[in-house]
Structures are given as C-alpha cells and as structure tokens.
Amino acid sequence: MSVPSPQPRSVVEQIPVYVPGRPPTPRPGLTTYKLSSNENPFPPLPGVIEAAHAAVDLANRYPDMGNTRLYEGLAARLGVPADHLAAGTGSVALIYHLLQAFCDPGDEVVHAWRSFEAYPIAIASVGAVSVPVPLDEQWRHDLDAMAAAITDRTRIVLLCTPNNPTGPALTQTELDAFLDRVPSHIVVVVDEAYLEFVRLDDAVDGVATYRGRSNVVLFRTFSKAYGLAAFRVGYAVAPAPIAAALRAVSLPFGVSTVAQAAALASLDAHDELMRRVDHLVAERDRVTAALRDQGWSIPDAQGNFVWFGVGERTASFAAACEDAGIVVRPYGTDGARVSIGEPEGNDRLIEVAGSFGL
C-alpha cells in the first residue's frame, strides 16, 4: 500500500531552472576563459582580502544582523538615510524579498524579456504571474509596451538597466517618462547591477530618481564592479517603508561577517576599484568596436558584456567559442552573452567571432 508523501506547493513545479554560467573544461596546452557569468576578472584587492581574513576570526559568532557598519558606509557614499537600505545575500535575494513582501499569488509582475533570468524564477517561486514584455528590435526595453502591460493585478515592474543579457541601458529621460505613466501604488525596481559600467550622456541617476518618488527601488550589488561575487552582497535603496518591508522578510543573518567586512573594505577602496572598471569599460568598447568592424551588429553595450543576437545559431556560436577555450552564455535561440574578461580572453573572442562567419 502506498503512503502519501509530502508534496511541495504546486507552483514549485512551474519554477524555471536557473542555469549558471559554466566554468571552462581544462584543456591541455590551451588557456581557457570563463566569460559566462559577467564576473570581474580582477581578484580582490589586498586590503579587501585582509579585511575578510580578519573577519574570519569572528566566525564563531553570528554576523551583525543589522548590517550596521555596511549601512553606515553605504549611506555615507550614496547620501541616503541608513533606514532606506536593505542588504541581502546578493541582489538576487532582494528580488525574492521584494516579491515576498509585495505579491500575493496571482499578482502580476511586468518585466522585459529577455532580461535577467532570475526574474521569472523568483516570480514563480511566490506564485505570482510573470508578464514578460519582448525587447524592441534594438534589444532594448520597450517601455511603451511595458506601460501597456500594466493591469489592476500588477504589483511590481522590474526594469533592468543596463539590460542583462543584451546590454543597452535606459536614459534618464526614458525612465522619467515611464515612471510618470506608472500608478504610484506599483513598485518599480531599477535593477542597476551593472550601473558602474554605464557611459551615457543621459545616464540614469538612480539615487536622484528614487529620492523624487515613493515607489522606486534600486537594486545594486557588490558582485560586478566591486568584484565580490563569491561573497554574495547586494542591497536595495528604497523609501523607508519599502526598505522596512524588505528587511522584515529577509533571511536572518543573510550577509556573513566576512561578506560585510569585504563589502565595507571595497567601499573604502572605491576609487581604486572604479579605475579597474574604467579599464573594463575600455576593453568592452575595444571589443565592441572590433566586432562591429567585422560586420557584427552588436547592441549598445553598457554593462561588462556584449550580446550576439545570433538566433538559431546560438548553440553553434557557443560551441565555436568553447572550441577556442572560451565559455560564453547561450540563451536558447535568442543569442549568446559574452562577458568582458582579461584582454587575452577578449582577443580570443574577437578571433572566434571573426572566423565564425556572419
């Protein structure tokens, strides 16, 4: 006789699988490059490693659950009150926290597609409904279509700028015009994971934007420009009531003592880290220009990655890269995203792209 076994909620079966960027398979005689996760190729600064090591001595104690020093450091750098901040285990955690805090089952969340693949996963995990709005033909958010997708059930709109995986960023003018069209009871997230890489004349000023609105939330991370992906530290900047809601649903002690120390030391080393970002931006622009010279139509690349919208040829493009020792990130039959890495890896990409054939 069969006995009933525990069953997860029915929504669990509908959660899409998160596919992480793979590391390269080691190849004798060939240096390989992992360009599949938009990581920072620079290792942590010595001062950051020292701060993290010092924090290991406190590993028998729980972390500061209030992230006190981290909030103080961020508040000072950003010029925002500390109670407008909520930290989490990477900014991906903040996406989950926001959905948990604002969405009942059946509520709708509007987001561009293709965009960050964690959005539909997190949305499904709370039983909310994903409303994906196709990007326009330049691989940019179609803000008119996104505004038109808002219904009475919409609780959250997720904007990703620059958009992962395609690269274009919103301008401040576009963002303001969009926000003016969104009812103020709907939370609008501006996911700025790649903010530091943006070089646009009319770039979004996230902090000024959130200051002027009661429904705007910024998501930021130490994983990309700050190069601390393994430590898992992200944060939201939000009006106090939204920040309080995010903190209320967050996992206790979600940011470890070591992660808090490393993030704080990185904030102290901001200028040095931003010089590294300048280098990566120069590499991105060099790669983009070389690919366009080859005839590739690469969309505006404002993050630390470039997008090949190769459609049906995505798998063969990824395989050609792999053969040359570069692991990239294929997305179904939409295209492939390639992170900007060390100059040698970037050169390898230019070579493979040149011989792949348009």
Binding site for ligand PMP (CB under 6 A): 38, 90-92, 116, 160, 164, 191, 193, 221, 223, 229, 234
**Which residue, 290 or 299, has its beta carbon nearer to ligand PMP?**
299
Closest to ligand PMP by CB, 108 or 191: 191
CB of 278 to ligand PMP, least distance (A): 20
Nearest-approach distance from CB 192 to ligand PMP, in angstroms: 8
The two three-digit tokens of residue 356, written as one number: 């792949």
Structure tokens at 77: 């750098």
CB of 355 to ligand PMP, least distance (A): 29
Q: What's the maximum distance between 2 C-alpha atoms anywhere in the chain?
A: 70
Instruction: Read off the DSSP letter of residue 214.
Output: S
For the bound state, the minimum distance from the C-beta of residue 160 to ligand PMP, rounded and expressed in Å, comes to: 5
Q: How far is the CB of 94 from ligand PMP (least distance, A)?
A: 8
| Calpha distance 105→123 (Å, rounded) | 10
Residue 299 CB, nearest distance to ligand PMP (Å)? 15
Q: Which residues contact 328 (CB under 8 A, 6 or more apart)?
A: 35, 36, 317, 318, 321, 322, 336, 337, 338, 339, 349
Which residue, 155 or 232, is less far from ligand PMP as judged by CB? 232
Residue 219 or 296: the one with the smaller Cβ distance to ligand PMP is: 219
Cβ 263 to ligand PMP, closest distance in Å?
11
Give 42 or 356: the residue with its C-beta nearer to ligand PMP.
42
Is-contact 331 319, C-beta < 8 A?
A: no
Residues 163 and 179: beta-carbon distance below 8 Å: no
Q: What sign for the dihedral angle of Cα 88, 89, 90, 93? A: negative
Q: Is 268 helix (H, G, I), strand (E, B) or coil?
A: helix
Residue whose CB is less far from ligand PMP, 40 or 221: 221
Nearer to ligand PMP, 264 or 324 (CB): 264
When CB distances to ligand PMP are compared, the closest residue is 90
Whether the CB-CB separation of 118 and 95 falls below 8 Å is answered with yes
| Torsion sign, CA atoms 193, 317, 15, 18 | negative
State how beta strands 108-113 and 305-308 pair. Answer: unpaired
- Of 307, 272, 277, 287, the residue nearest 169 (C-alpha): 307
